[in-house]
Amino acid sequence: MKVIEHIEKSSNPLFSFEIVPPPRGRTIQAVTDVVKTLLPYNPAWIDVTAHPAGAYYNEKSDGSIERKIYKKRPGTIGICGVIQNRFKVDTVTHLLTQGFTKEETEDALIELNYLGIHNVLALRGDGLNYNKKYDNKRQRNHYAIDLVEQISDVKKGIYMDEINESLPMDFCVGVAGYPEKHFEAPNMKLDIQRLKEKVNAGADYVVTQMFFKNNKYFEFVDSCKDAGIDCPIVPGIKVIKNLKQFRSVPSHFYVDFPDEFVEEAHENPDHVEEIGIRWAIKQGEELLNANVPSLHFYVMNDAKSVSQVVKKLFK
């Protein structure tokens, strides 16, 4: 079932969560263990992140510098296939513009269609740490809207090359929204305008970046409605577990923590996980009381804290 169908058909609050593929050399059990922990609470769908290749530089014995390209977290499509077919939970595959050509994206969509996966999240993705060389004969999506447009074409049966008997492929497309503004946008107004363009290009729903002040989400939703965006906007939640995250989360995701949350955590450093769980429950209760479409949890690969929050909110 598509994400938008889950939202439209449900009469009860929904929740979903997002996981990352394990590093190279590890098995899929690292992922399935996370899924098994949250499965009893009936997630509506599960997102699996995607990661482009990276590069590292090695100094050789002769003094020269060698660049090696590696895939740090492979297996996004395979993991989605395993989860959806083993656990019977719909999955959302993240597709990126950074590090991938349009040809590679089309191949990925064809592969997903074969596997019966019909939900994707269209993202630009983080910048590469090296300059990837692209074949001049290959095309690129530079922004998320370009990716949404390509997926919309595929939904109409429009492919990069004309091949006889090619059929349309039906995908539900999600895009990202930023209640505290994307860090590259000059202001919120233009950021929301860009979001509207993605929705007009074919996006079915929006899932937000994590936030810790619910008023930021409510203001964002109101501004989106004023701009003519009428698709579901799913709030994203992150459960804080340690003091280090009060530094790392703002630096990576450009979000702000409430003063009282920060103060309580720093005054009780041995109880940060407990405080984070309590804060996430409070945040989730307010959002659910406001009839949000669903709650989306950024689990990464540690479901312990999230399971306690979900157990309380969806009992």
* Structure confidence by residue, pLDDT tens digits, 248-280: 999 989 999 999 999 999 999 999 999 999 999
DSSP state of 134: -
Residue percentage of the chain with pLDDT more than 70:
88
**Angle, vertex CA 43, rays to CA 38 and CA 49, nearest 5:** 85
- Would you identify the CATH topology of the domain 3-313? TIM Barrel (3.20.20)
pTM for this model (two decimals): 0.89
Q: What is the mean pLDDT of the chain?
A: 89
* Structure confidence by residue, pLDDT tens digits, 112-141: 999 999 999 999 986 543 344 555 656 888
Single-letter amino acid, residue 39: L
What is the number of residues in the chain? 315
Least Cα distance to 148 among 88, 198, 206 occurs for 198
